[in-house]
Each structure stands twice: as structure tokens, then as C-alpha cells.
Structure 1
């Protein structure tokens, strides 16, 4: 069995839950308010995903400012097809649901004209928190593969931070996971 095949057996991988939706789960150190703060507070969110604002009510604006170079090592470069993502990338949306500290949902990439939706659900599990991220209304399989790998790496970085560990380099892990998700996600 190859390492990729072994990795597919792991519970950390996202799974396709509809033709246009993927869901990924992480069991994280709690309490729930701490995890919520890493989703909603810019200074904490920028450590694992993106800076920018998320309004604290339905209809409020969302702006993500991705700087993947800040999430990786100096010698870790993006794959050629993502070279334009080496610098700053912005993403806009609007809050669809705001129910602290259990539910946050918003549109994603409104600037493309075909926005998708991201939903974060948190629930206590003893001293841990189950975080479920569902990304739906994804345009096509190629985008789903990219989003799946991206969420996987970003959530692994979040888990490392919450556990007090040093996160893995972003781009090399992303490239490996994108290839694995490409093999994992059913082809039409």
C-alpha cells in the first residue's frame, strides 16, 4: 500500500457530500470560545488562513487577505499553476449566519460572479471542539480539488497552532494534498 493510499484511509481527509460540496472535520483543543476566536478574530485567523474582516452579523461584509508566504517557510514556493497566489490574494463575501460560538457561514469569492459558500460548525466534545467546515456551491471538480487541499492544509495549521506545535510548510503540503484529492475525488 502506498503512502497516498494509506493517507486516504485517514479521517482527516475531506469528503464529497454533494456534487458541488466538500466537508472536512477537525477535532481541536478547546474550549469552543477559543476555537471561535481563531475563526473570527483577524489577528488569530491570519496565523492559519487569512487576515481581513468578518462582520459580526448576517449581511455583514467579509474580506479575506491571503498571504500564503506568511504561512510557510522561505524556501517553500507555490506550484507553477498557483504562482499568482505567492503574494497577496483577496476574497470577498457576506455573512450568511452568525451564531457565536457555534455557527459561522459566508459567501466565498463573490468577486468571481459565481460565489460559493463556506459554513463552520463548532460543537464541544469534552475538552475538545469538533469543527466541521462545509464548502458548497463549488463551480467544478478542479476547484473542488483545490479547495479541498487548501482547507485541509489551513485546518492542519490551525490544529498545530492550537496544540502549540510548529505548522508544516504550506505550499509543499498543499501540492501533495492536491494530487491526493485529485485521485480521491470522483471524476464525472
Structure 2
């Protein structure tokens, strides 16, 4: 079994280096559909964060998270989280519709790759240099919960309430990352 098959079948992200999270998911294609959910702010807001993005290296990416709007009901928002969070990043690499790399706050950035596998597309998210253990825990649960919403949207099913899913995943990742 290859590493990518193991990751995709498991749905959980893994530390592929000490401060690098890799999460994979098989999604219904085609690849251009998944690419649109990464690059089109109106589609991206349905699973991650709204915001404009030009598809060129050096272009700013404005992310606006409104996690209460991702699912209905949203679930119970954890203490310390507001109703909106904003971050401006930058496109650092792009090869449409297969690869998108974006700077990401104080971490080493995020790379999304898309690989066709029959009628499905393997989405791989690699988030590098997440040095702070608390940030790593939140990011791990966050990517997993957001990709759960994306998968539900793409499959036409109802996603689990986002905040409840994130809270449960955070507990699971606390165990998984400590072992």
C-alpha cells in the first residue's frame, strides 16, 4: 500500500515531517471542478474561506473565514474563535489545474495538488513548517473539518456541523499527534 493510498483511505492527516501536515482525500471529479473550489472565492467560501485570488505567482489571496456559515447548523463555536477571521496570503506557485501553493501566515505555506484517479481526484494538502504544537493541532483539525465540508458539498450530501466536527477532530488529533 502506498503512502498516498494509506492517507486517502484513512482520511486523517499525518505528519510527513516533524512540522508538516499532509492530508489527502479522494473527491468526485473532474479535476477542473475541484480546481474551481480552490481558486474561485465564491466556491471556496462554501468549504473554507471566501476571498479574491488571481491565478498568478505573486498575486495576493484574501481569505475570509466565516465558519458559522459553512454548515446549517454550524455547531457550537469553541471559545476563543470569532465569527470572522481574515488573512492575506500570496500565490507562491501555480500550475493550473494541478498545483497551487500559497503562503500561510507564520508557517511555511500550503500546497494543494490534484491528481486524477479515474472519475475521482486525489486532493493532497501539504501544510509546511507548523512549528507551534497548538497551531499544528488546530490546523490539523481545521484542514480535516474543512475538507469534510468540501467532500460533502461535492458529493451532494449534508456536512456534519462544522464546529462540532472540528471539536471532535481536535480531540482525535491530540491523541494521534502525541503518539
**TM-score, normalising length from structure 1?**
0.87
Partner of 2:159: 167
Q: Deviations over 1:4-47 (max 9, x none)?
A: xxxxxx61000001111000000000000000001101111010
Partner of 2:134: 142
Alpha-carbon distance between aligned partners in 1 of 2:12 and 2:38, rounded to the nearest angstrom: 20
Q: Is it true that 1:101 corresponds to 2:97 in the alignment? A: yes
Q: Could you tell me whether the CA contact under 8 Å between 2:74 and 2:162 is conserved in 1?
A: no
> 1:76: how far off?
1.9
Alpha-carbon distance between aligned partners in 2 of 1:77 and 1:83, rounded to the nearest angstrom: 11
Partner of 2:51: 52
**TM-score, normalising length from structure 2?**
0.91
Partner of 2:31: 32
Count of aligned pairs between the two proteins: 171
Q: Is it true that 1:68 corresponds to 2:67 in the alignment? A: yes
Alpha-carbon distance between aligned partners in 2 of 1:40 and 1:121, rounded to the nearest angstrom: 12
Question: What secondary structure sits across from 1:184 in the alignment?
Answer: helix
Question: What secondary structure sits across from 1:26 in the alignment?
Answer: strand
Partner of 1:91: 87
Alpha-carbon distance between aligned partners in 2 of 1:75 and 1:135, rounded to the nearest angstrom: 25
Question: What secondary structure sits across from 1:185 in the alignment?
Answer: helix
Q: Could you tell me whether the CA contact under 8 Å between 2:74 and 2:163 is conserved in 1?
A: no
> 1:83: how far off?
3.0
> 1:174: how far off?
0.2
Alpha-carbon distance between aligned partners in 2 of 1:37 and 1:166, rounded to the nearest angstrom: 20
Question: What secondary structure sits across from 1:83 in the alignment?
Answer: coil
Alpha-carbon distance between aligned partners in 2 of 1:143 and 1:58, rounded to the nearest angstrom: 26
Task: Please provide the CA RMSD for this pair.
Answer: 1.4
Unaligned runs of 5+ in 1: 1-9
Question: What secondary structure sits across from 2:86 in the alignment?
Answer: strand
Q: Is it true that 1:20 corresponds to 2:19 in the alignment? A: yes
